[in-house]
Structure 1
Amino acid sequence: MKLNKEQWSWVFYDWANSGYGIIVTTAVLPIYFKTIAQANGVTAANATAFWGYANSIGTLLVALLAPFLGALADYQGFKKRLLVGFTTLGMLMTLGLAVLPTTQWRWLLVIYVLSVLGYSGGNLFYDSFLTDVSTDSQMDKISSTGYGFGYLGGVIAFILFMVLEFTHGFGHLSSLAVARWGFALAAIWWVIFFIPLVRNVRQRHALTTTTRPLRQSWSRVWQTIRHLRQHKYLAWFLVAYFCYIDGVDTIFTMATSIGLDIGITSTTLIMVLLVVQLVAFPCSLFYGWLAAKTSTRTGILVAIVVYLLICLDALRLHTAADFWLLAVLVGTSQGGIQDLSRSYFGRIVPKERSSEFFGFYNILGKFSAVLGPVLVGVVTQITGQSRIGAASLSILFILGLVIFGTLPHDATDNS
């Protein structure tokens, strides 16, 4: 199957915002914030706490607004307007990170929270556009291509940043200035590759526009919650998704701490991150191929089993070589489990209400890495071994595997 112009335009949104994901949220801004906060008299402990609060506030805002925004986007003409609005907010706030004076660490947190709102809101509407740019039979292919190119775009953007980092801006920039240029790079990358989606993608499935869209959107959200039992397969999939994606997100967020515990240097951890992204690119495409040859359900089950094996293999995690092996294994299925979950969900939701249902999907994605880190932390404290804490995540994958395994083979029933 060859992707058409509209589908490629949708795919490249994942490429567009990948620079923000890896440069801003993962690799640079956490360190940059702590550096300027401490330079302005904030203790290291307080800087860490404030950073955690900012992330929690951003996550909470997105999670609370997602179902309502999704329901609003389902009305004809609203989805693209909301996508453009939130994405523009994210891009402007990312650029704001680059130009804000280094003395304004409080405003940095505010701007970061707003950038998270724009980034996450944009992803909500982007995900729901999957039902507009593809048929049920095309979803696996297009979703996996989106995730794959997102990983590749993130790698390229990060390599460009690393060139600035290692050359100190070709001999002209301080470390803080390099970080600020990195934020500008992420914003510009986002703008350039967002343009095709704006020009070529349109909303095909929609509800008839109402005279009171805000009130009707709230009403529809509460009706969906009250009558969720009418969508029993969809509801049980969300329960399974919450379990296994919690494990996936926790492995990603806790990997750095676990790596440091066994003596991995910060420079090596950055290299591991790049390798994981590179491995995830072809493997995401592979999962799309696997789903076409077997089924989406089979592909998700395979990915869950791979993650279960990763958790169990963490019990023998002692050396850098062991860490590298597990990182590569994560890369093989990280994109696959996400892209097939998205396409599976897109196939079973009512198409004219896809944004509303992707709002609930977004909530679980945001709150997913809540139980997992607590589980890892408690088990690590009890045993004194972070590798045993990592292995405890197998419980989440077993739960996800069992629940998802009970769902029907045919995922086209919306009832």
Structure 2
Amino acid sequence: MASPPPDPASPAPACPPDPGVALGSSPGTGADADAGARAPTREIFGWAMFDFANSSYTTVIITVVFSVIFPKIIVGDAPDYRQGNLLWSVALSVSYGLVVLTAPLLGTLMDVRASKKRFLFASCVLTVLSTGALYWATPGRVGLAMTMLVASNYGFAVGESFAAAFLPDLGPKEALGRISGYAWALGYVGGLVSTALVVFTVGPQEASNLERLRWVGPMTALFFFLAALPTFAFLKERGTPQALPPGERLAQVGVARLRRTARELGDFKDLLWFFAGLFFATAGLSIVISFAFIYGDQVVRWQPRTQLLMFVLTNLSAAGGAALFGLLQDRWGNLKTYRLTLLIWGIAVLGIHQTKTLAATLGSALGWAWAAEDVYLLVGTLAGLCLGATQSAGRTVVAVFAPAARAGELFGLWGVCGKLASIVGLLSLGLLQNALGLERAILVCGGFFLAAWALSLKVSETRGVAAARAHQAES
């Protein structure tokens, strides 16, 4: 938790020689967190409720429902939907490209003005309005659907970074894994509840059911907005807005801070190596999140019952995995836990690719018929254990490696790393599946996870934490 703000009577420097240095810290952030203080329970709950709220968007729109509606009904290029899948990848990649261009500067401005909460609210409003506008995305209106998808996913993605920037203030570094895991677990509960409401209300994802399917966007938007209200009621804005040097604009100060950070990145070598590995991990995760249900629909050819079971079981396993791995992080270490999840992912992707072969092998060995969709369901549930755990552990590592006074800025870089990785992951799969088919292209996902694991071996958690504390002391 943050330390109290400084005495308001203390004057700010009138004209510092380097505004990037003078505004490089936000007094009153992060000190208590390192000293062992923990934010009030209701504030942690309020922060976690944003994960609960925004999971409605990523689950309903990106993973389960609209990801099938877009290629199947809006684009409608049956039988293999290659163009629809490619356009889906392009739309998401464009939104992530916008995050890459804007997130570092926005994170810097949040730190300077101590305005994380306002930025988070703005991202929430953008996501809610553009998601609701998907009501007008009907068959053939591909441009409108892609535009609203770009806008809503951009709002969601920058909102992730804004929310994550609050994490260093919520407790001591050794407790952040548990707090992050709790929030991520609650997020999967939100995804489960919101998707159940939408699926059971709108019915099957078929063109004949179009009029009811149009309500997928508005229902998701309403759930997001209402569920996020506790976040803005309970979450506190810490830190003190910094006085701008005479004649300087906020954007100029933000750019100066970014330049300072670029010069000092060499001091955060472990964070840089971690970002390099996280790039590949996120590329793999972006494929899983965006194509898991498309794969089940187009390759495995599952029945609606199996699709529903996959949704329920993976969300339950993801929620349990995020909470359990969060406890493991605090006992075993954030980095070791993160590495373990990557190895499990590598095995799971191989199982997904070999679904049909595994079904035949199990049927022969055990003496009863196994359908490919049954094996896919089993492998998907296993993978679900790490779906939240990998992301939560990654977020926690960044939180303990980042000086609290520069959390917004460094989580902006976290957002850039993640979204640039998502662009690479989605376009890689989109182009490969367009050439080779989705079943073979999915193997690239496993390669991404193994590359992330290899790069993580160059990271020392002890050294990364020490570098963060050294920079915090200098601020």
TM-score bracket, normalised by the shorter chain, equals: 0.7 to 0.9
Q: Which moved more, 1:372-381 or 1:138-147?
A: 372-381
Counterpart position of 2:395: 342
1:352 equivalenced with 2:389 (yes/no): no
Counterpart position of 1:171: none
Matched residues in 1 for 2:400 and 2:443: separation? Answer: 33
Extract unaligned runs of 5+ from structure 2: 1-37, 360-371, 469-475
For 1:2-401, what aligned pairs fall within 5 Å after superposition?
4-33=41-70, 37=74, 50-98=87-135, 106-166=143-203, 175-205=209-239, 208-210=242-244, 212-256=249-293, 258-260=295-297, 262-265=299-302, 267=304, 268-314=306-352, 316-318=354-356, 319=359, 320=372, 321-372=374-425, 389-391=441-443, 393-401=445-453
Q: Which moved more, 1:145-154 or 1:318-327?
A: 318-327
Task: Give the secondary structure class of the aligned counterpart of 1:204.
Answer: coil
- TM-score, length-scaled by structure 1: 0.86
8 A contact 2:39–2:169 mirrored in 1: no
The Cα offsets for residues 186-207 of structure 1, whole Å up to 9 and x where unpaired, read as 1111111211111211222466
The Cα offsets for residues 19-41 of structure 1, whole Å up to 9 and x where unpaired, read as 121222333334444577569xx
Larger radius of gyration: 2
Task: Give the secondary structure class of the aligned counterpart of 2:456.
Answer: helix
**Equivalent AA in structure 1 for residue 101 of structure 2:** L
Counterpart position of 2:459: 407
Cα–Cα, structure 1 residues 29 and 394, in superposed 2: closer, same or farther, change >3 Å?
Answer: closer
Q: Determine what percentage of the aligned residue pairs are the same residue.
A: 22
Structure 1 residue 125: deviation in Å? 0.6
Matched residues in 2 for 1:248 and 1:88: separation? Answer: 26
Task: Identify, as 1 or 2, the structure richer in helix.
Answer: 1
Cα–Cα, structure 1 residues 389 and 86, in superposed 2: closer, same or farther, change >3 Å?
Answer: closer
**Equivalent AA in structure 1 for residue 378 of structure 2:** L
**Equivalent AA in structure 2 for residue 75 of structure 1:** V
Task: Give the secondary structure class of the aligned counterpart of 1:414.
Answer: helix
The Cα offsets for residues 320-352 of structure 1, whole Å up to 9 and x where unpaired, read as 233222201110111111101101110111111
The Cα offsets for residues 203-232 of structure 1, whole Å up to 9 and x where unpaired, read as 224662425221111222233234321211
Cα–Cα, structure 1 residues 83 and 289, in superposed 2: closer, same or farther, change >3 Å?
Answer: same
Q: Which moved more, 1:54-63 or 1:246-255?
A: 246-255
Q: Which moved more, 1:237-246 or 1:3-12?
A: 237-246
Cα–Cα, structure 1 residues 74 and 206, in superposed 2: closer, same or farther, change >3 Å?
Answer: farther
Q: Across the two proteins, how many residue pairs are aligned to each other?
A: 408
Cα–Cα, structure 1 residues 331 and 360, in superposed 2: closer, same or farther, change >3 Å?
Answer: same
**Equivalent AA in structure 2 for residue 203 of structure 1:** E
Structure 1 residue 113: deviation in Å? 2.1
Cα–Cα, structure 1 residues 203 and 398, in superposed 2: closer, same or farther, change >3 Å?
Answer: same
